[in-house]
Amino acid sequence: MRWTHYDGMNFPFKGNAPVKRRYSITADVLSYQLCPQQYALYKIRKYEASMTNQLFYGTVIHQVLDRAHMHYKGLLVPATAGTLPSNLDIKRYFDEVDSALKARRISAGTKVKDQALEIVKRFNRIEGPSLYHRVVNTECRLQTDKTDYILNGNVDVLAISPENPDSVEIWDYKGTNLPSRGDPQYQQYIYQMQVYAELYRKQTGKMPQKAILYFLNSLSGPISPTCRPGNAILEVTLDASEVDTAMNNFANTVSEIERSRDFGIWANPIQTPPKETCDICDKRWNCPNSGQVYPMRHP
């Protein structure tokens, strides 16, 4: 009998290895820093948001621009390789993304959709000629094992640096305006890019040349700009000590999230979130932290 070969063998039980949680820079760390209460509502307790305007706006911009990059590379149809998408192409990509989001019950009103479509067309016209041919990768997933957890992030664009062709720039699109320097979100965006840069360095052994945040709402307004507006981009310093500070900030936030999860207690935000965040939050009628009064009304 074959099994008798194994009779009497004894292996010590090693126990189950703890499962490492994954923490996304934007969906976890920045979201928790914005408002722990709202983070717990949607991310931990998994309630579905009743208002999806903001989510639609950010997602549609990212996905249509991703298609614009694929169009230039000829990844959608080989014949378009090396050509810029026309306004009609952008509208087609927009409609495709819109339908896909609708199927996920993420939608927005006509005004929001029109604005999103218009700023993507403007971005395509103003930035496409100088950016698309430099793009090496889009929606690039970066991650690092932090021993207790996995930290990950999605870089929107990796582009060859015009200053140093052996190096890359990392770009992140924001469907907002550039916040003022005093705004807490300004520093959070800078931290985000410094952490992306460090994740990139860990994966490739090289620091990016630059990190660039592009604020697409700077392209909105009744008059279409003919060139990049002055407040469209924020270049982030990738100084080693500042990157360390950013990594520590994120590590501390992950520890806070873990503690909150263990005890089931979610802190109030340190600073009142921006009005547009509270305006679409489903806790807004019963939240002492919002600093706004939301009238109760029947439909």
Span from 55-63, 131-139, 216-224, 276-284 in contact with ligand SF4 (CB under 6 A) = 276-284
> What residue type is 105 in one-letter code?
R
208 binds ligand SF4 (CB under 6 A): no
Nearer Cβ to ligand SF4 (41/76):
41
Residue 60 Cβ vs ligand SF4, minimum distance, rounded to whole Å: 22
273 binds ligand SF4 (CB under 6 A): yes
CB atoms within 10 A of CB 76: 16
Nearer Cβ to ligand SF4 (209/290):
290
Cα–Cα distance between 279 and 212 in angstroms, integer? 29
Cα–Cα distance between 80 and 10 in angstroms, integer? 63
40 binds ligand SF4 (CB under 6 A): no
Options 85, 153, 175, 269; binder of ligand SF4; rule CB under 6 A: 269
Q: Kindly state the helix (H) or strand (E) to which residue 100 belongs, with its residue range.
A: helix 87-103
With b for 16 or more beta-carbon neighbours within 10 A and e for fewer, the 99-115 pattern comes to: eebeeeebbbeeebbeb
Q: Binding string to ligand SF4 for residues 54 to 93, with x set by CB under 6 A, is what?
A: ----------------------------------------
Q: What is the token pair recorded at 100?
A: 């896909």
Options 29, 30, 35, 151; binder of ligand SF4; rule CB under 6 A: 35
Nearer Cβ to ligand SF4 (74/291):
291
Number of residues that bind ligand SF4 (CB under 6 A): 13
Residues 6+ apart with CB under 8 A from 107: 52, 56, 98, 101
Angle in degrees, 0-180, between the axes of helices 240-263 and 184-204, rounded to the nearest 10:
100
Residue 261 Cβ vs ligand SF4, minimum distance, rounded to whole Å: 17
Q: What are phi and psi of 190, to 5 degrees?
A: -65, -45
